[in-house]
Amino acid sequence: MQYYKAVTVVIWLCFYMDVCAQLSTNEKPISFGIKAGMQMVQRSVNPIVTTPPLDMTKIEKEDEIADERERLLRFGYRHSVNYNLNNSGVWYKLPNGDKLWQLEIICPNALSINLSYDQFWLPEGGKFFVYSKDRKQTIGAFTSRNNKGDNLNIRGFATELIYGSDIILEYYQPKEVGTNAIISIGNIIHGYRHVLFEERSFGDAGECMVNVNCEEGQNWQNEKNAIARILLEDTYSLSGSLINSTDFSETPYFLTANHAVKDVQKDAAEDSNLDNTIFYWNYEAPGCINSTRPIYYTTCGAIVLANNNVTDFALLRLTEDPKSLPNFSPYYLGWDISGESGAPGVCIHHPMADVKKISTVNAQPQSTYWSGQYQYPNSHWGVRWKATQNGHGTTQEGSSGSPLLNASHRVIGQLHGGSSQGCNGTSCYSKYGKISVSWIGNGNDSIQRRMSCWLDSIGLGVQTMEGLLIIPTARTMMMNEQFYGNIRIKSTGQLNIQGDIEMMGNGCIIVEPGGKLIINGGKLSNAEIMLKMNSSLYIKNGGIVETRNGFKAQVGAKVIVEDGKIE
């Protein structure tokens, strides 16, 4: 045991043992900064596009039928269109010679408008924006970074919800950019169901649902960062989660429900591109009461790697990586494929496209099967829910695909469906496809029908896997908590521990070159720490580090102790 007080000690470790906002530039549209001098050079036959009003009687009947069949939650009506830079909008020339294109789209009485593009490709230097006509909401700029293919293999794209009934599209091309952009709108989605923040509620989830940042979610603050709300093919909403792999590659593997993929006619073996799918991260109320508008981020696009009807799983690879988002620390969930449920845990989800909720399992999940077309013995976990301090969370439409986590904070399944229809208490019964069955594809050898080939591509053959938290920038842990999983502090990252953090299980902390781990008056216990070359550990203000197996480090890593101790 070593103690240090009021003195700086620098230890150079000389041995090595290895161990274990939509993605955009987030700027205002170019036209906002132009006071005068825009010269119209080309006006199309469609300078303003207005979609037909909706027949809500017909739509409500369609949604009732979908609800009875446990189909996906639909939030908007899709208008199939064909508008592009050549046949719609107005082109302007700016005083400095740059070009700018604008198109206004009106959906009468819409709550929101979002768009999917059958072709989307921007040259380097081009910038694309979408904003409400009143300029209260803007997204962009989207750039060549958002291209899903190249200019010889042009693919699709989607932009998130703009609230209101009148939006503007704007494309800016500097005069030195000689290659034209390709922006082709395939669908305009007229939102008729609330999926936005309001003063009293965020959406349509039942009043019994519990916000993830209530007391019930205090021990799940890392795992919640794996969960995303999905706008699938621009019209349907469901849930899903990032999931870890044995190679710790930080590949954005994403687990959700196969019936969602099937409903939009996608499949790993056939048409696997989900270019028009948007993933909402951090879409949550900051507290237990809905009082402040959530600050969220979005990414667009995915590929279906594997899916299977029996357990209703779909494993995706996201094409825009959430760890590239500013101010967001993604978490990749750990998993358990042993076939044992473990002690009861929780489900974190987006019911009715609402902000992130947490539902608490009332007893150990029971082995069961799906009673539909694809029956397989013991393929599912059956779950009932219990009342907690702030409600009686269950599952609803929009919860499909969300992970079931056991008390060890590992995924054991994803939501297929069941009898849960909101706040009807103890009668709710939810069924989750077992990850242990999905792992081997219920005996199917195809890599497109099983999870193992992707999440254990290096063939470790382990039964359980810890989660992984990525620290790409600065993050502070102030609460006293038990941490399940591994932590990777990136070269640009800094983790400041000011609370008492106990590492659970076999998790470790890896500090990459340039990364910093700071114990500032807090206590880090049961820790396995791996310091890479040129990484740093700082201990100050009475900080304490209790290691599990001692330090492991590369040559050139350092520890700076000002006031604290290492045990």
- The predicted structure's pLDDT at residue 399: 93
CB 162 within 8 A of CB 139: yes
Same domain, 450 and 488: no
Same domain, 242 and 361: yes
- The predicted structure's pLDDT at residue 422: 65
272 CB-near residues (< 8 Å, 6+ apart): 266, 303, 304, 305
pLDDT higher than threshold 80 for residue 74: yes
The distance of Cα 190 from the centroid of its chain, to the nearest Å, equals 24
pLDDT higher than threshold 90 for residue 295: no
Q: Summarize the confidence of residues 534-544 as an average pLDDT.
A: 96
Measured distance CA(18)–CA(91) in Å, rounded: 58
Does 392 reside within a domain?
yes
CATH of the domain at 448: 2.40.10.10
Give the number of other CB atoms < 10 A from CB of residue 560.
Answer: 15
Same domain, 227 and 148: no
pLDDT higher than threshold 90 for residue 20: no
Say if residue 228 is preceded by a cis peptide, omega within 30 of 0.
no
- The predicted structure's pLDDT at residue 54: 95
Same domain, 15 and 34: no
Give the number of other CB atoms < 10 A from CB of residue 38.
Answer: 15
DSSP 53: P
Same domain, 46 and 171: yes
Does 354 reside within a domain?
yes
pLDDT higher than threshold 70 for residue 103: yes
Measured distance CA(314)–CA(306) in Å, rounded: 6
Same domain, 118 and 168: yes
Expressed as residue numbers, the domain containing 526 is: 2-20+473-566
What six digits make up the tokens of 211?
Answer: 């916000």
- The predicted structure's pLDDT at residue 200: 34
- 234 band by pLDDT with thresholds 50, 70 and 90: low
The DSSP secondary structure of 175-234, one letter per residue, reads: TT--SPPEEEEEEEEEE-S--S--SS-SSS--TT--BTTSGGGGGGTTGGGGEEEEEETT
Same domain, 174 and 244: no
Does 176 reside within a domain?
yes
Q: Summarize the confidence of residues 22-50 as an average pLDDT.
A: 91
Same domain, 63 and 141: yes
Give the number of other CB atoms < 10 A from CB of residue 18.
Answer: 10
CB 383 within 8 A of CB 414: no
- The predicted structure's pLDDT at residue 67: 64
Does 410 reside within a domain?
yes
- The predicted structure's pLDDT at residue 70: 56
255 CB-near residues (< 8 Å, 6+ apart): 240, 241, 242, 243, 313, 314, 315, 316, 333, 401, 403, 411, 414
Rg over alpha carbons for the chain, rounded to the nearest Å, is 25
Which residue bears the tokens 């091309």?
Answer: 173
pLDDT higher than threshold 50 for residue 217: yes
Give the number of other CB atoms < 10 A from CB of residue 545.
Answer: 23
Q: Summarize the confidence of residues 405-420 as an average pLDDT.
A: 93
- The predicted structure's pLDDT at residue 195: 60
Q: Summarize the confidence of residues 116-130 as an average pLDDT.
A: 97
In this structure, of 212-216, 429-433, 548-552, the range with the lowest mean pLDDT score is 548-552
Same domain, 304 and 438: yes
What six digits make up the tokens of 384?
Answer: 């009932």
**Of 427, 455, 483, which one is at a domain's C-terminal end?**
455
Q: Summarize the confidence of residues 304-315 as an average pLDDT.
A: 97
Give the number of other CB atoms < 10 A from CB of residue 13.
Answer: 18
Residue of 244, 265, 269 lying closest to 254 (CA atoms): 244
- The predicted structure's pLDDT at residue 35: 78
Same domain, 238 and 324: yes
Does 185 reside within a domain?
yes
What percentage of the chain reaches a pLDDT higher than 90? Answer: 75
- The predicted structure's pLDDT at residue 203: 58
pLDDT higher than threshold 60 for residue 87: yes
**Of 455, 481, 508, which one is at a domain's C-terminal end?**
455
Q: Summarize the confidence of residues 82-86 as an average pLDDT.
A: 97
CB 383 within 8 A of CB 429: yes
Q: How many domains does the chain divide into?
A: 3
pLDDT higher than threshold 50 for residue 338: yes
Q: Summarize the confidence of residues 343-349 as an average pLDDT.
A: 98
pLDDT higher than threshold 50 for residue 245: yes
Angle among Cα 49, 53, 58 to the nearest 5 degrees reads 140
Q: Summarize the confidence of residues 6-12 as an average pLDDT.
A: 34
Measured distance CA(109)–CA(190) in Å, rounded: 9
Does 162 reside within a domain?
yes
- 189 band by pLDDT with thresholds 50, 70 and 90: very high
CB 1 within 8 A of CB 545: no
Does 58 reside within a domain?
yes
pLDDT higher than threshold 80 for residue 19: no
Dmax (CA) for the chain in angstroms is 79
432 CB-near residues (< 8 Å, 6+ apart): 365, 380, 381, 383, 404, 412, 413, 414, 415, 416
Q: Strands 430-434 and 380-383: what pairing? A: antiparallel
Does 173 reside within a domain?
yes
CATH of the domain at 147: 2.60.120.290
Measured distance CA(439)–CA(288) in Å, rounded: 36
Same domain, 478 and 446: no
Same domain, 533 and 430: no
197 or 298, higher pLDDT: 298
